[in-house]
Amino acid sequence: MIVLITGITSGFGRAMAERLSADGHKVYGTHRKDCLRLPGVTYIKADVSSEDDCRAAVEQVLEAEGRIDVFINNAGMGIGGPLEFCSVAQAEKQMDVNWTGMVRFLHHVVPAMRRQKGGKIICFSSIGGLMGLPFQGLYSASKFAIEGYCEALRMEVRSFGIKVVVIEPGDFATSFTASRDSVGDKEAYEVYKSYERSLASIENDEQTGLKPEFLAERISRIVRKPNPRYHYIISTLEQRLSVLLKAILPPSWFAAILRSYYKL
């Protein structure tokens, strides 16, 4: 199959590119900065914030292969901090990379899959796209947007043989932690006394989390499935249970559990 993945420099993207290439798929991947390249993977310089880059990346794959069987929207970033201290510019950047970047690509991928009468679209949300996480509100908002967009898209493109899958990872040990853009305003720490404790807890969960190769193996199986599920939560048992608890508990009870977990 012909696979296009956004953001393969490191973390999930690199692990998926390596695994899917080893599975025998022809893998194309986008990157913004120079990186150590995987053999057998075709790298495309593209920024998800650029409409021209997104269009050109899709066109390059279509010109070379004539089709795209699987599109994996993986590129993303995080901005952490008390929402009161997150600037409008930060909110716009968070949405532009995580949500609008996906939309830019899909505007070119969907017509190609519609013409070829089939394909799989796999978009990365997060457990943070199923529940609003304290001090990660902008990130959660961008992932909630992906959930809603894909839910609507799935119904619209079903008759064309296009499957839309949303992946909701929990905490993984990747470079995402180090690259997070966190609010550094001293007043934020003074006003929100629990911010520093919560941030330390969040980072510890990520750094001690599952390995990206674990997720890549699951994606490998999803790519092969003729009829994949709508959603896949890929996380520890504890984090999967948290999603279940949110669905069955009164909102105030679940909020109390999150406050306790994040030391608020």
Percent of the chain with pLDDT over 70: 98
Q: Is 232 part of the annotated catalytic residue set?
A: no
Query: What are 129-171's pLDDT values in tens digits?
Result: 999 999 999 999 999 999 999 999 999 999 999 999 999 999 8
Per-residue pLDDT, averaged over 41-59, amounts to 97
Closest-CA residue to 168 (of 144, 186, 188): 144
Domain extents in the chain: 2-261
Q: One of 28, 139, 192, 195 is an active-site residue; which one?
A: 139
Query: What are 67-102's pLDDT values in tens digits?
Result: 999 999 999 999 989 999 999 999 999 999 999 999
The CATH architecture one would assign to domain 2-261 is 3-Layer(aba) Sandwich (3.40)
Q: Taking the CB of residue 90, how many other CB atoms lie within 10 A of it?
A: 16
Does the pLDDT at position 175 exceed 70? no
Higher pLDDT, 172 or 22: 22
- Angle 161-164-165 from CA coordinates, rounded to 5°: 140
CA distances from 125 to 91, 119, 170, 248 (A): 17, 19, 10, 21
Does the pLDDT at position 209 exceed 90? no
pLDDT category of residue 185 using cuts at 50, 70 and 90: confident
Specify the long-range contacts of residues 203-207, CB closer than 8 Å, at least 24 apart: 203/177, 205/171, 206/171, 206/172, 206/173, 206/174, 206/176, 206/177, 207/173, 207/177
